[in-house]
Amino acid sequence: MTNDEIINRINRREAIQRVTAMLGGLTLIGGSSLITACEKAQERAADTAKTAAAGPQQPIGEFSVQDIAYLDEIADTILPTTKASPGAKAAKTGAFMALMVTDTYDPNDQKVFRAGMQTLDEASKKANNGAGFMAATPEQRLTLLEGIDKEAKAHMDARDAAKKAKGKGKTEVEKKAAKVLPDQRKEAAPGADVGAASAITADTPPHYFRQMKELAMLGFFTSEIGCKQAMRYAESPGRFDPCVPYAPGEKAWAPHA
């Protein structure tokens, strides 16, 4: 492995750690395989973006052109265009998400993700008078995802609690899940259904929207747009500054990506 490859691997690991911190310090779905696959997915996503600029978008694995466009819109609702930078759609985050699911998720997690795409669309239809996610307005999309995000957090909190309590008896797991889920479920998006609280165990699959949110953030903040426009970027190598002035509200520094 060359020095450049070693540096790149380290920086991909750093990027994953930063996204993990943004999501509350929990381990990203896909585990250590994300570190080794992230670079490959970014390269392939970049190739896909070049192809798209020259002509029609190409399918990726089991993801159709329409699926990738759908993921672009989900990601762009999570990370929209701002005064500081373009949004996730401009960074071709949908293609990145499709690649990461194809290359790094195990078969069960892939099924959860793809079923989640359908579940989200059905929730949109139920909440918006038959309008699927792609047909919904930006405001309707945001409202829907905010509700599902609460549901996903409750689901993942109960799942993590169940993992920690594994081996201590089902009663403790059920109490923890019951404490976390009911209030969140009341606030969930129309059409959302997380099932019985006691059903959340250490072996329960991750919530599909947690997968989508992780990959959207990882794809955007390791893209050129995310690094150079959403964050401050300085090409490496450069001088070492152990302490630099920082004012509240300034952009975070991007890792070398």
Q: Which DSSP letter does residue 49 get?
A: H
Q: What is the pLDDT of residue 223?
A: 85
Q: CA dihedral defined by 201, 206, 207, 209, rounded to 10 degrees?
A: 160
Q: If pLDDT is split at 50, 70 and 90, which confidence band does 187 have?
A: very low
Angstrom distances, CA of residue 255 to CA of 8, 34, 144, 215:
10, 17, 32, 17
Look at residue 137 and tell me whether its pLDDT is greater than 70.
Answer: yes
Q: Which DSSP letter does residue 134 get?
A: G
Look at residue 67 and tell me whether its pLDDT is greater than 80.
Answer: yes
What is the mean predicted confidence (pLDDT) over 95-106? 90
What is the mean predicted confidence (pLDDT) over 105-124? 95
Residues 152-172 pLDDT 10s: 999 988 988 888 887 565 455
Instruction: Give me Rg for the CA atoms of the chain.
Output: 19
> Rounded CA gap, 26 and 6, in Å?
25
Q: If pLDDT is split at 50, 70 and 90, which confidence band does 19 have?
A: low
> Rounded CA gap, 163 and 225, in Å?
37
What is the mean predicted confidence (pLDDT) over 55-67? 81
> Rounded CA gap, 107 and 222, in Å?
25
> Rounded CA gap, 156 and 153, in Å?
5
**Percentage of residues of the chain with pLDDT beyond 70:** 61
Q: Is-cis flag, bond preceding 56, omega within 30?
A: no
Domain positions in the chain are 3-146+208-230
Q: Which DSSP letter does residue 194 get?
A: -
Q: Which residues pair with 169 in a beta bridge?
A: none
